[in-house]
Amino acid sequence: MQEIVNPEHLPANSKLFSLEEAVGIRNRPEYHTQKIVLTNGCFDLLHPGHLFFLRNAAKLGDQLWIALNGDVSVQKIKGPKRPILPEAFRAYSLAALDCVSGLFIFQSSRLDAEIQAFKPDVYAKAGDYSIKTLDGREKHALQLVGSRIEFLPFLAGFSTTDLIARICEAT
């Protein structure tokens, strides 16, 4: 199996920020008049389902920001064989999308602290989530900062787990 290229070989990612930098941008006066949308996810193998969701999430406001689950976070959620692509590659792919304004990486399994720091106007999740299945700490953080929660339809037939299985069957 071929070794994945070292992330240092990627061009600079002008849309990738630390949480502190993202919060600083969010707190700029010109952002106070804009509706900022936040979503999060692993986005391990970017596929049409992700693209459909992200394009629709971007329509909910003026800017779409992504809190990207870092490698440690993905392993906590998905297991030791994930992610397939390291966080730097996933961030680079997401930053290439015109609908994405910025992103930051987080390593915890939950996003509550990042929500409280970033204070999005709208929080978007795919339709496989509901208010009942949303993590209680994240829901509480969204309520504290006054974020509107939107659940968007997802494009049926696409899942990273299924895609990985298909790739394994093809080899």
Quick one: average pLDDT of 140-148?
98
Q: What is the pTM of this model?
A: 0.90
Q: Is the pLDDT of residue 25 over 80?
A: yes
Domain ranges of the chain: 15-170
Q: How far apart are CA 52 and CA 147, in angstroms?
A: 22
Domain 15-170, CATH: 3.40.50.620
Quick one: average pLDDT of 114-133?
93
- How high is the pLDDT of residue 5? 60
Q: Is the pLDDT of residue 3 over 60?
A: no
